[in-house]
Amino acid sequence: MKCLKVGLVGFGTVGGGVARILLEDADRIAARTGVRLELKAICDKDTTGDRGVELSPGLLSDRLESVLGDPEIGAVAELVGGTTFARELILKAFDRGKDVVTANKALLARHGGELFAQAEKCGRSISFEASVCGGIPIIRAVRDGHAGEEITCIMGIVNGTCNYVLTRMARDGASYADALARAQQKGYAESDPTLDVNGTDSAHKLAILGRMAFGEDIDFDQIHVAGIGDIEQADIEFGAEMGYTLKLLAIAKRVDGQLEMRVHPAFLLSDHPLAAVADEFNAVWIRGLATGDTMHYGRGAGRMPTAAAVVSDLVDVALGRAAVNAEAFTALAGRVAKASVRDIHEIETHYYLHFSVTDRPGVLSAITGVLGRNGISIASARQPEQNQERDVPIVIVTHLAGERDMAAALKEIDALDVVGRKTRLIRIER
Amino acid sequence: MKCLKVGLVGFGTVGGGVARILLEDADRIAARTGVRLELKAICDKDTTGDRGVELSPGLLSDRLESVLGDPEIGAVAELVGGTTFARELILKAFDRGKDVVTANKALLARHGGELFAQAEKCGRSISFEASVCGGIPIIRAVRDGHAGEEITCIMGIVNGTCNYVLTRMARDGASYADALARAQQKGYAESDPTLDVNGTDSAHKLAILGRMAFGEDIDFDQIHVAGIGDIEQADIEFGAEMGYTLKLLAIAKRVDGQLEMRVHPAFLLSDHPLAAVADEFNAVWIRGLATGDTMHYGRGAGRMPTAAAVVSDLVDVALGRAAVNAEAFTALAGRVAKASVRDIHEIETHYYLHFSVTDRPGVLSAITGVLGRNGISIASARQPEQNQERDVPIVIVTHLAGERDMAAALKEIDALDVVGRKTRLIRIER
């Protein structure tokens, strides 16, 4: 039976989960997959803290050489996070002839090109199922399941914190702040949730998914990113009344030879499969020319789901499939064409607009006039009854419109006397 | 670049789709996956009918030797269906040193053990992503994505015809007959839909999923199978009022070292992810110890989704991954332990019961008395108001109860004077 000796670097939440599976379930995995995974060494700065896993003496040390210097270790699981030490570690591991498994989305999004190139140069592989949507085997679905398919669009709910917050705002009427506090209490949000709620984490995952789906190198800084920090209860409610559900979406779409790559809050029709994905769950919806629509749903984070994904990649290394993948798939090659990412101003979509106006005759006409002059056609408009004179909401949903025209129109509208605070815009995906 | 020459046997709906992808998209697939798939020969009895694919002269013939006798052909895609000719064809293909890709669920469910054993003996592989839920890469998700995982339960909506019928009954109030007729008009149901509506097709897929998830050989005849032919509008409505959605589920579950393997209509809580899977779509929900719940959703049938799955398997053969899989995974081995499948009378679940009674004092008490004496505890009961005396419905939902106790209780209840037609039972999965 094939045996793969594994070194872990990073013994935190996920590292502890991987150690537990390797120590407790190696027999079961061997019986199922025909390969034996053996945890040979763990490296972490902290060698004393309790991770709820019983280790034999000598397994854990703070010396990186205990992993990198052991010639028996064939695969290194990088679970430290961050983009500095982790990057150097992976490059060193390749250099020492070791395959790498990582859950590090920020690193792959920022330095994927370099890492794939170095892996190729050293004849090694890098596997990263755990980097996108933890427990959902989405990298495999895109790479292997859709190997014969031309993918045209991917839309994902890929951040559990944001989805929990938006779900609680929609279902309980909670404020953004309250919903976020509950997410933190439940352990779905970090104590500093900035990278989650501002969309950065979703964009990291989108860069990886985009590379796998389209076989092109995505410049992370070209992804348009907006978070959920500005979302207000009123918009969720107005949207719901019109049959829409609000989600933070990560969207990668092939349009006229370019790629749209964007992360932002978006309304979906409430019967879209993604609209039903609630709380901390993630899902990725894929449209392909032959297969039509598929969706993959599950837990995007958490100790054991992410650890199980790491272990599935270790099985791939042990079986030799990771090596085959690294050699075959363009998306995993060192040199990959740069994607031409469409500027956000060039996209076309439907829009939800929430104007805040003074209740005076001619207001609706003034607003719709500006939209019309900018070539924006209105699908529906509503002015909910209010017993106030200022900050009266007008909600308009548009037909397909250009982002540049929309920006020009809103600039003009927001300068009108009768318009109070800045108009709120939410894109609609249909 | 690796090149795999492919022979197709069966040039019907799916075969035509596979031919189209191989002829039109070989360059794109090669650019993406690093392997070139070349369609070398097609065999079908009918060599003249139009399949909407343009073939170069000589590609299509009615001689099986054009495929089996060509030493350059490395993989045979079996797309004829049925369990007689297809079985012989696959055995011959192994014998001639060819790998096999098939969409034939009935064959694998009935003769999987024999085929895997013969593949092993000949050092060949058999890949079958297209056999379960066409466009959903569910075989890979179970085998590879959950390679490090202990799967405890799989529940699937794996028949598009049944799901379309049940969806239209629930959402439009259509009768079973009308909904089935519409499914046929739309091309979601065969002209003879027997094997779909009676649950056999779902059971075929369940046998394959069960083998992959649990690594044991499932005796097809031990799967409990019931279809949707008896479902009535009233039950869908009563269920909906109590927060349940009715689906035809294929269930494989590990319980106390045994497997429950069953296909039958079942109520799900309406907020279960599977409950939202509508119309002709399929989905498979998986529970694993580490990953928790995942779900894979998409088109389970149709020409191009199924063809894309066949092509993804051909890519696996070309890359050598199919050979690796065949050698490594226990589920694909020739000799696999026989699953101990639990008799349906031994299962425990929750039940929905619809009694049809004569409106007379003491009826409810008589029924609940029998249930109580058989150890069945009631979670909720309702007697919708009726302006009739006979065939008055009483609906009861039970707590967890044993199937054997339930059968005994219903036998007794159905013999009561005040009970009219046979009591209707629908299991509830929670």
- Identify any residues that bridge with B73 across adjacent strands, giving them in sequence order: B5
Paired tokens of B288: 């694993």
According to the model, what pLDDT value does residue B295 have?
Answer: 98
DSSP per-residue letters across A58-69: TSEES-THHHHT
Domain B2-134+304-332 has CATH 3.40.50.720: yes
- Nearest Cβ partner for A298 among B137, B294, B316: B294
> Which whole-number Å values give the CA distances from A305 to A103, A188, A354, B150, in the listed order?
12, 14, 39, 12
Residues 25-64, chain B, touching A (beta carbon < 8 A): 25, 28-29, 31-35
Residue closest to B266 by CA, chosen among B234, B318, B321, B228: B228
| Partners of residue A301 in chain B, C-beta under 8 Å | none
Residue type, B143: R
CB burial string A288-317: b at 16+ within 10 A, e below = bebbbbbbbbbbbbbbbbbbbbbbbbbbbb
- Nearest Cβ partner for B147 among A33, A289, A299: A33
Asked if residues B386 and B393 have their Cβ atoms less than 8 Å apart, the reply is yes
**At A175, phi and psi to the nearest 5?**
-75, 165
Cα separation, A228 vs A236, whole angstroms: 12
Query: Is the model's pTM score more than 0.90?
Result: yes
DSSP per-residue letters across A348-402: EEEEEEEEEE---TTHHHHHHHHHHHTTPPEEEEE----S-SSSEEEEEEESSEE
| Partners of residue B335 in chain A, C-beta under 8 Å | none
According to the model, what pLDDT value does residue A265 have?
Answer: 98
Cα separation, B375 vs B372, whole angstroms: 5
Instruction: Measure in Å the smallest separation between the Cα of B426 and chain A Cα atoms.
Output: 25
Cα separation, B293 vs B291, whole angstroms: 6
DSSP per-residue letters across A311-329: HHHHHHHHHTHHHHHHHH-
According to the model, what pLDDT value does residue A385 have?
Answer: 77
CB contact under 8 A, A25 and B150: yes
Q: What is the complex's ipTM, to 2 decimals?
A: 0.95
* Residues of B catalogued as catalytic: 205
Residue closest to A68 by CA, chosen among A48, A88, A82, A45: A88
> Considering A105, A205, A247, A253, which one is annotated as catalytic?
A205
| Partners of residue B325 in chain A, C-beta under 8 Å | 319
Residue type, A400: L
CB contact under 8 A, A299 and B316: no
According to the model, what pLDDT value does residue B113 have?
Answer: 95
| Chain A with chain B: Cβ pairs closer than 8 A | 215
- The percentage of residues in chain B with a pLDDT greater than 70, rounded to a whole number, is 100
Cα separation, A341 vs A8, whole angstroms: 36
Cα angle for residues B156, A18, B141 (degrees, 5° grid): 25
| Partners of residue A21 in chain B, C-beta under 8 Å | 148, 290
> Which whole-number Å values give the CA distances from A90 to A148, B213, B294, in the listed order?
31, 33, 30
Sign of CA dihedral A399, A405, A410, A413: negative
Asked if residues A207 and A154 have their Cβ atoms less than 8 Å apart, the reply is no
Asked if residues B141 and A284 have their Cβ atoms less than 8 Å apart, the reply is no
Instruction: Measure in Å the smallest separation between the Cα of B363 and chain A Cα atoms.
Output: 41
CB contact under 8 A, B148 and A293: no
CB contact under 8 A, B147 and A312: yes
The CATH number given to B346-429 is 3.30.70.260
Cα separation, A353 vs A334, whole angstroms: 43
Long-range own/partner contacts, residues B30-33 (CB < 8 A, 24 or more apart): B30/B1, B31/A215, B31/A330, B32/A147, B32/A215, B32/A329, B32/A330, B32/A331, B33/A147, B33/A328, B33/A329, B33/A330, B33/B315, B33/B318, B33/B319
User: Domain residues of chain A, as ranges?
Assistant: 2-134+304-332, 138-300, 344-429
Asked if residues A127 and A248 have their Cβ atoms less than 8 Å apart, the reply is no
Paired tokens of B168: 């239209």
According to the model, what pLDDT value does residue B112 have?
Answer: 96
Mutate to test the interface with B, among A1, A32, A284 (most CBs of B within 10 A): A32
Fold of A344-429: Alpha-Beta Plaits (3.30.70)
* Tokens 């059971």 -> residue: B203
| Partners of residue B273 in chain A, C-beta under 8 Å | 276-277, 297
CATH architecture, range A138-300: 2-Layer Sandwich (3.30)
CB count within 10 Å of CB A370 equals 20
Instruction: Measure in Å the smallest separation between the Cα of A27 and chain B Cα atoms.
Output: 11
Q: Which residues of chain B have pLDDT under 50?
A: none
Return the residue of A nearest to B291 by Cα. A305
Residues 185-224, chain A, touching B (beta carbon < 8 A): 215
Asked if residues B294 and A283 have their Cβ atoms less than 8 Å apart, the reply is no
Q: What is the pLDDT tens value at each position of chain A, 430 positions in all? A: 899 999 999 999 999 999 999 999 999 999 999 999 999 999 999 999 999 999 999 999 999 999 999 999 999 999 999 999 999 999 999 999 999 999 999 999 999 999 999 999 999 999 999 999 999 999 999 999 999 899 999 999 999 999 999 999 999 999 999 999 999 999 999 889 999 999 999 999 999 999 999 999 999 999 999 999 999 999 999 999 999 999 999 999 999 999 999 999 999 999 999 999 999 999 999 999 999 999 999 999 999 999 999 999 999 999 999 999 999 999 999 999 999 999 999 999 999 999 999 988 899 999 999 999 999 999 999 987 777 888 899 999 999 999 999 999 999 999 999 999 999 999 999 8
According to the model, what pLDDT value does residue A148 have?
Answer: 87
CB contact under 8 A, B297 and A295: yes
Cα separation, B88 vs B75, whole angstroms: 16
Residue closest to B79 by CA, chosen among B4, B14, B159, B6: B14
Hey, is the C-beta of B273 within 8 angstroms of any chain A C-beta?
A: yes
